[in-house]
Structure 1
Amino acid sequence: MKERKPSLENTSSHWYKDDGRYPKAHKRVIHFLTGIMMAMLFSIPASANIAVNAISRYQLIITEIMADPSPPKGLPEYEYIELKNISGKALDLIGCKLADENGSANFSKSTILKPDSFLICCSNTAAPYLQRYGKTIGLSNWPSFGNESGIVQLISPQGNIIHAISWHSSWYRNTIKSSGGWSLEMISPFQYCAGQSNWTASNDEAGGTPGRINSVNATAKDELPPALLRTYATDSLHLMAVFDEPVDSASAASPVGFRLDGMQQAPAFCNAVPPLFNEVQIRLPAAMQEQTVYKLIVKELKDCIGNTVGMLNNAKAGRASSAAAGDIVINELLADPPPEGDDYVELFNTSKKIIDLSKLYFSNRNSAQVLINSKPATHFPFLLFPGDYLAICSIPEWLGSKYVLKDRSAVLAVNSLPSLPNENGSLVLSNSQGKIIDEINYDIGWHFSLLQSAEGISLERIDPLQPGTKNNFMSAATTAGGGTPGYINSQYRSLGSIQAQFSLSSKSFSPDLDGIDDVLHIQYNMNTTGVVCTVQVFDLDGNPIRMLAANALTGISGSFSWDGLSESKLALPSGIYIILASWFNSNGATGKWKQGVVLTRRKN
């Protein structure tokens, strides 16, 4: 009898189906081999078909921070950090650390993150509640992030920084959302080097978007060069240059890219400082002298994307000195902001010293005249140079939308200021030993008496060299927007000088949009503060043509403008018109001034 060859169909059935047709020995062999195969199969990790790579800087980035989950808006009430893999390769986070200033949590087990995917990092307690939103890992020893500011660092197993973010509550750009329940989201993952400009509060109704594309997501690439913000010295030979974003470590290590005016030699060495890499330490060739203002110039430095530093490449530098009484004064104060805003304080350096504000403190006084609610003026070194102004507030974005900011580098964001009640209060500036540098005890009665409401109107110091008393403060001019944060006060004058005059920018003007004398400016210099001014235009018959200002509280100097239109915004014919200004103050003093001007128009 010939041996029958099994068909492919029978062979298939033979290997995968035990139907009782084979001897027990065969069954034992089959069971043994099957067991080995199954053991091998289950011993292979699920990620075996993924090529896992070592993690370099910026291959994983922090894209969302839920630092203050209370009160919740829709998400579980737990902190979380969202990571995104932008490397184009699968990455294993085992051995990595997620850290803040005070502690770190370890990735103790293999955690594979595929390209262009997200990972929600949280505490072990939070993990069961957040895993519904995407790939989640619970970490032991979860750092407790501060509600108002903090540093988040992702560190490689080798101890290298992969990505780090130093955030502040002002990054929310919204006072309601910064109070809790909303996450901070990165706007464009292509601008991972950018700081505040690339972060904002989530727009998702749940308060955040863990495990998925951010609600504020954009695809704009980083094409902006790094900007040198400021400097500070750690001693006479070491200078720190602070930039607005992380810089490239290789270009930062080149001493020829840094020069301090007055020193002929290049620095001995330079290096970018982790974890944020937005500061460069510079070892100078010679010691800086006290009370000498230098200028640091930076060239050829690149950011982490590769953009080269541009025009914003220089900043003042110098050694800080201790502040004495009167060296820095409280020059302006907003204690009654509108509901969407916040208080601000302006400081002015009246001395010839360079003063580090991190050595000074704001406080209030209680009824027993004891200093309370003390807060550092800033938590990091910040130099105020002679003659410089600095506005300090918690919401710089709001400040810029409400008032004119002539120099945004003259605004410093802090977590909070001491209590500044609307009606009256105290504000003290002192050093760490409690020595008073300046102090004011303000009252709403310091405002201009005819002001209908003090909301949004700051109190300005008239003469920074005189005491901080009622007679030396006045409401900021409404013509200046009600406040002048970061620059000379609208009510500034030296109490030893008096000047009062009105003048026209030209004897004639032609509002025909040719770029020459299109607008008439009525310029003024007042001889005192608290002056209310009305400016009108009349024709030669005495008929009122246009009201340029009605009971406007003026500063010491300023201007009003006329575009040649009537009250109903109609173009007026050529001719002679009269400008009449009248003013008064709360003491009953009055005055008038008038002058003619020729308005000319082209003939069609």
Structure 2
Amino acid sequence: TLITTTAAQEGEILVNELLFNPKDDGVDFIELYNNSDKYFRLSDLILGRYDKDERKDEKPMTYLDYIIHPHHFLALTTDTSTLKFQYPAQDILQVASLPPMNNDAGIVLLLDKNGIILDSVPYTETQHFELLSDVNGVSLERTHYTGKSYNPMNWHSASTSSGYATPGFQNSQFLDLSQQNNSYTLVSKTFSPDGDGYEDILALNYKNEKNGYTANGYVFDLAGTYIHQPVNMEILGTAGLLSWNGILNNGTKIPVGNYVLLLETFDLNGKVDKKKLAFSVVGVF
């Protein structure tokens, strides 16, 4: 199929995710998102940065004939092997260099081949979620494509369940603006942690109408006796999956029986929601 590429305009291709303070043995990455129905040639795009009101380190991303397809993601890094080892990476490309990104603050620039700015993303370490005790290795994700890049409210730390970064695929904190209510549902109301490959984990799907929720989950038997806490201060995305393998703190498996998962979610404004989800442990093990 013949593909026709075109020059990108502002808003058509975006900086979508930044890892500027990697783990000690990690690497930076910058993720792009093609927010259009067009095809763009990567060699026509330039990354750079602002430093003390000066544009610096502006270089073409690659000289390879690489095309970014409509509504696709691409993460750029100097070491794809390390990135794949540390995160569940998908569409990533190794480049010779990225503009230097300070760990505390900076401004990343995305330009066309004529030097026209297509996107500009100021970032600071203080944008990370307040309850994170360590932000090393945690990316900042754009929450939706219509919000302005310079607005810090349009960025959020990647979720715990995503591994704290999502290079090359949809952000864990992406907001579905049609989602009006929070939703928490068990994939199955039964599970059997016996290692046979069928319903070995208790899995919970969630969708949130906004970012910034943290979750705790407590398991009780039907007499109200506390059994286990499978979810402990989990930083949620806007959608994701929580899972538990049925192993208790003493190393044994949860006994066969009927239970309740009390899921408690809260945000930084102090809003607390609680939901009870019944499930059964079945099987012989």
TM-score range, shorter chain: over 0.9
Offset of 1:580 from its aligned partner?
Answer: 1.0
**What's 2:49 paired with?**
364
**What's 2:87 paired with?**
403
| Deviations 1:488-540 (CA, angstroms, capped at 9, x unpaired) | 00000134542311111222223334443232212211121111111121122
2:20 corresponds to which letter in structure 1?
A: A
**What's 1:580 paired with?**
262
Note if 1:516 corresponds to 2:201: no
**What's 2:165 paired with?**
483
Distance (Å, rounded) in 1 between the aligned partners of 2:185 and 2:147: 30
**What's 1:56 paired with?**
none
**What's 1:279 paired with?**
none
The alignment partner of 2:260 has SS state of: strand
The alignment partner of 1:445 has SS state of: helix
**What's 1:338 paired with?**
23
| Deviations 1:404-430 (CA, angstroms, capped at 9, x unpaired) | 12x3xx111111111111111000101
Decide whether the 8 Å contact of 1:345 with 1:392 is kept in 2: yes
Q: 1:273-292 residue pairs with structure 2 within 5 A? A: 288=2
Q: 2:224 aligns with which of 542, 546, 557?
A: 542
Note if 1:467 corresponds to 2:148: yes
Distance (Å, rounded) in 2 between the aligned partners of 1:572 and 1:454: 34
Q: Give TM-score scaled by structure 2 length.
A: 0.94
| Deviations 1:312-362 (CA, angstroms, capped at 9, x unpaired) | xxxxxx121111111100000000011211210000000111000111111
Distance (Å, rounded) in 2 between the aligned partners of 1:319 and 1:354: 7
Decide whether the 8 Å contact of 2:50 with 2:108 is kept in 1: yes
Distance (Å, rounded) in 2 between the aligned partners of 1:362 and 1:515: 46
1:402 corresponds to which letter in structure 2?
A: Q
Q: 1:371-390 residue pairs with structure 2 within 5 A? A: 371-390=55-74
| Deviations 1:256-275 (CA, angstroms, capped at 9, x unpaired) | xxxx4xxxxxxxxxxxxxxx
Change (3 A) 1:601 1:497: closer
1:379 corresponds to which letter in structure 2?
A: Y
- Which structure exhibits the higher relative contact order, with contacts defined as CA atoms closer than 8 Å and separated by 6 or more residues? 2
Q: 2:109 aligns with which of 428, 447, 450?
A: 428
Provide the aligned length of Structure 1 versus Structure 2.
Answer: 284
1:400 corresponds to which letter in structure 2?
A: K
**If you compute each CA radius of gyration, which structure gives the higher value, 1 or 2?**
1
The alignment partner of 2:82 has SS state of: helix
**What's 1:445 paired with?**
126
Distance (Å, rounded) in 1 between the aligned partners of 2:259 and 2:12: 50
Change (3 A) 1:510 1:341: closer
Change (3 A) 1:543 1:418: same
Distance (Å, rounded) in 1 between the aligned partners of 2:214 and 2:56: 39
The alignment partner of 1:400 has SS state of: helix
Offset of 1:581 from its aligned partner?
Answer: 0.8
The alignment partner of 1:546 has SS state of: strand
The alignment partner of 2:265 has SS state of: strand
Decide whether the 8 Å contact of 1:498 with 1:528 is kept in 2: no
The alignment partner of 1:479 has SS state of: coil
**What's 1:29 paired with?**
none
Q: 1:598 aligns with which of 271, 280, 285?
A: 280
| Deviations 1:220-272 (CA, angstroms, capped at 9, x unpaired) | xxxxxxxxxxxxxxxxxxxxxxxxxxxxxxxxxxxxxxxx4xxxxxxxxxxxx
Note if 1:349 corresponds to 2:34: yes
Q: 1:33-72 residue pairs with structure 2 within 5 A? A: none
Distance (Å, rounded) in 2 between the aligned partners of 1:395 and 1:513: 36
1:567 corresponds to which letter in structure 2?
A: N
**What's 1:525 paired with?**
207
1:350 corresponds to which letter in structure 2?
A: N
Decide whether the 8 Å contact of 2:176 with 2:209 is kept in 1: no
Q: Which runs of 5+ in 1 are unaligned?
A: 1-259, 261-287, 289-317
| Deviations 1:532-556 (CA, angstroms, capped at 9, x unpaired) | 1111211223222222121111111
Decide whether the 8 Å contact of 2:183 with 2:208 is kept in 1: yes
1:384 corresponds to which letter in structure 2?
A: I
Change (3 A) 1:572 1:415: same
The alignment partner of 2:161 has SS state of: helix
Which structure carries more strand by proportion? Answer: 2
Q: Which runs of 5+ in 2 are unaligned?
A: none
Note if 1:393 corresponds to 2:67: no
Give % identity. 32
Distance (Å, rounded) in 2 between the aligned partners of 1:362 and 1:337: 19
Distance (Å, rounded) in 2 between the aligned partners of 1:572 and 1:549: 15
Decide whether the 8 Å contact of 1:350 with 1:465 is kept in 2: no
Offset of 1:459 from its aligned partner?
Answer: 0.1
Distance (Å, rounded) in 2 between the aligned partners of 1:552 and 1:519: 17
The alignment partner of 1:534 has SS state of: strand
Distance (Å, rounded) in 1 between the aligned partners of 2:209 and 2:251: 33
Note if 1:325 corresponds to 2:6: no
Q: Give TM-score scaled by structure 1 length.
A: 0.46
1:579 corresponds to which letter in structure 2?
A: L
Offset of 1:569 from its aligned partner?
Answer: 2.3
| Deviations 1:113-159 (CA, angstroms, capped at 9, x unpaired) | xxxxxxxxxxxxxxxxxxxxxxxxxxxxxxxxxxxxxxxxxxxxxxx
Distance (Å, rounded) in 1 between the aligned partners of 2:259 and 2:168: 38
Distance (Å, rounded) in 1 between the aligned partners of 2:56 and 2:245: 53
Decide whether the 8 Å contact of 1:349 with 1:386 is kept in 2: yes
Note if 1:589 corresponds to 2:271: yes
What is the CA RMSD across the aligned residues, in angstroms?
A: 1.6
Offset of 1:377 from its aligned partner?
Answer: 1.5
Distance (Å, rounded) in 1 between the aligned partners of 2:156 and 2:277: 30
Offset of 1:366 from its aligned partner?
Answer: 2.9
